[in-house]
Structure 1
Amino acid sequence: MSPLPFSKISSPLNALLAATGLVAVAALTMPDVAERTRLILAVLLGGIWAVYVLQLIETLVMQRTRDVRDRMPAIVIDMLAVFVPLAAFLLVGSRDQSLCCAIWLLKPLRDSTFFRLMARVLTNEAHNLIGVTSIFGIVMFSAALAAYIIERDVQPDKFGSIPQAMWWAVVTLSTTGYGDEIPQSFAGRVLAGLVMMSGIGIFALWAGILATGFYEEVRRQDFVRNWQLVAAVPLFQKVGSAALIEIVRALRPRVVPAGAVICRKGDTGDQMFFIVEGRVIVATPNPVELGSGSFFGEMALISGEPRSATVSAATEVSLLSLYSVDFQMLSTSCPEIADIIRKTALERRGATPKA
């Protein structure tokens, strides 16, 4: 039995429903809204909530157990979107009931892979992030202590205790600078400058760690995806792991829609292509169709000649491209692969040109 439409609501529709609901919530906080308009907005919120109830029910009932486990974050968001407004309706005063619909902010993210990506980055970089956070805490407390010692007699109402000075330390470390607490003494202002510069460095460390973590995780995912694509090409299935790693690093994935031209006759060629999925048509006097596992465009890399035929996608095609520079490196690291490509190129030259 397949899921019904409510359990398959797309991310854009979830975003539209959530945005409509949040606009209604914001409008209900305006004191000059007429009662009739309030009633219409309340009915609108109820309608959106009913759609989310149906979506949750169908997701839980219709999905297989394995799918429920895989989609647990989405199901949790669906449950929050239903039960938080319901609890507000039953337990919270009428004035603030609609505010709990703000939980629908999560709905557009229910199918997003960002949460899983963020979790992996935080897990991988946990030690570094904890280290920088520890430095932040040490600097913050040290700044509050120093500000208390320097400014307590000058401004006892603002720096009369370390907890009071802690607010100034946080604002200064983050370089927010609200201006509600300002050191008056020369030593206090020197301290403020040092704390600001320390804050800039600490936040730069946080940003750098997260940016590096995201980059490494995305690169790891790309490597795994490229590995799977390369392993699907018969030409590469017999090479060893070390050689396959070199091939994965050399090849670039590319998806071409049906009907698109991949290369044109007479163009200068700087890359050849391996077909992972789909079919291409080589426009020779007797057109030839190539499918999964085939490759073309190798003559341009080996002989440097212009393309001898136009190749277009008969269907949507998943390709792996190999540039001339990478082909030279591949010839050194995987000579058996390069020999097969050269042998095929010579056979094709003796037969019908294949770009």
Structure 2
Amino acid sequence: MRQYLKNIVEFNDNTKSRIFAYFIQILILVSIISFSFETVPDLKPETRKLLRIIEVFCVLVFSIEYILRIYVADNRRRFIFSFFGLIDVLAILPFYLSIGIDLRSLRALRFLRLFRILKLMRYNRAIKHFSKAIMLAKEEILLFLFVTLILIYFSAVGIYYFENAAQPEHFSSIFDSLWWAIITLTTVGYGDVYPITVGGRIFTFFILMIGLGIVAIPTGIISSALTKSVDTKDEN
């Protein structure tokens, strides 16, 4: 029985296993959609009752799935504390913690329900390729993030010295200047904070040029890693 259930729950090489995987994926999407509808104001009591029924059904299925995965796991302790094991717990934990409790005082628990969407990583082949690509390029990505943080701080310091005297209300400190540095380096540019001095505008031009590269670099890193991931699968 254990091996039979393992073939359905863990593997994806037979009809029953694929049906199980598709069923869980559909429930994840239904759960996320119902969660979104719950935030709509002035819902009718009947609608809220229906959403509650959907939530209870989804949590029941996810709980059974989690128990089955523990049952069929070769190393149960390792599974419980693995990435997917923790995601499975976080997907159902808010429901059980909120039983008999007014969620208005524990809204953070509702946020944890978003972790259900990460459960799709176990079933979706494209997401598996993406997660594998992230792992292949993790050193390059960490290096890029470290360099980006340095550039953000450098930009904040630079614009502070250029604009502090002219706009003390916006650039009163390096910490206040960090907001400008982030939206400029990421090329978002909300326009709520911008330089007015000649030096500040020239400095901003160079930061924008650097920002264009910052946006492009991780795209190249991840696309290269995705190519390696797909090539490795084809070779196997």
Pairwise TM-score range, normalised by the shorter structure: 0.7 to 0.9
1:128 paired residue number: 140
Question: Secondary structure, in 3 states, of the residue corresponding to 1:177?
Answer: coil
**Structure 1: any 5+ residue segments left out of the alignment?**
226-355
Equivalent residue in structure 2 for 1:162, among 174, 179, 183 = 174
1:218-233 correspondence runs (5 A): 218-223=230-235, 225=236
RCO (CA 8 Å, sep 6+): is it higher in 1 or 2? 2
Q: Deviations over 1:199-218 (max 9, x none)?
A: 11122222212222222232
Q: Tell me the percent identity.
A: 22
- Measured after TM superposition, the shift of residue 66 of structure 1 is 6.0
Q: Partner amino acid for 2:169? A: D
Q: Deviations over 1:129-184 (max 9, x none)?
A: 33333332232222111111110011101111111111101110000001110101
2:21 paired residue number: 11
* Mapped pair 1:32 → 2:56: no
2:12 paired residue number: none
1:83 paired residue number: 93
How many angstroms apart in 1 are the aligned matches of 2:194 and 2:147?
24
For residues 119 and 108 of structure 1, do their structure 2 counterparts lie closer, same or farther at Cα, with a shift above 3 Å needed? closer
Flag the structure with larger Rg. 1
CA RMSD of aligned residues (A): 3.1
* Mapped pair 1:55 → 2:57: no
Q: Say which structure is richer in helix.
A: 2
| Aligned partners of 1:129 and 1:209 also within 8 Å | yes
How many residue pairs get aligned? The number is: 223
Q: Say which structure is richer in strand.
A: 1
Q: Deviations over 1:85-137 (max 9, x none)?
A: 32243666257465543332223222345666555544543443333333322
Tell which deviates more after alignment, 88-97 or 21-30.
Answer: 88-97
* TM-score normalized by the length of structure 2: 0.79
How many angstroms apart in 2 are the aligned matches of 1:125 and 1:108?
21
| Aligned partners of 2:79 and 2:85 also within 8 Å | no
For residues 115 and 87 of structure 1, do their structure 2 counterparts lie closer, same or farther at Cα, with a shift above 3 Å needed? farther
2:214 paired residue number: 202
Q: Partner amino acid for 2:226? A: F
For residues 79 and 5 of structure 1, do their structure 2 counterparts lie closer, same or farther at Cα, with a shift above 3 Å needed? farther
For residues 38 and 5 of structure 1, do their structure 2 counterparts lie closer, same or farther at Cα, with a shift above 3 Å needed? farther
* Mapped pair 1:146 → 2:155: no
How many angstroms apart in 2 are the aligned matches of 1:185 and 1:64?
64
* TM-score normalized by the length of structure 1: 0.55
**Structure 2: any 5+ residue segments left out of the alignment?**
10-16
For residues 110 and 155 of structure 1, do their structure 2 counterparts lie closer, same or farther at Cα, with a shift above 3 Å needed? same
For residues 110 and 77 of structure 1, do their structure 2 counterparts lie closer, same or farther at Cα, with a shift above 3 Å needed? farther
- Measured after TM superposition, the shift of residue 198 of structure 1 is 0.3
1:65 paired residue number: 74
Question: Secondary structure, in 3 states, of the residue corresponding to 1:184?
Answer: coil
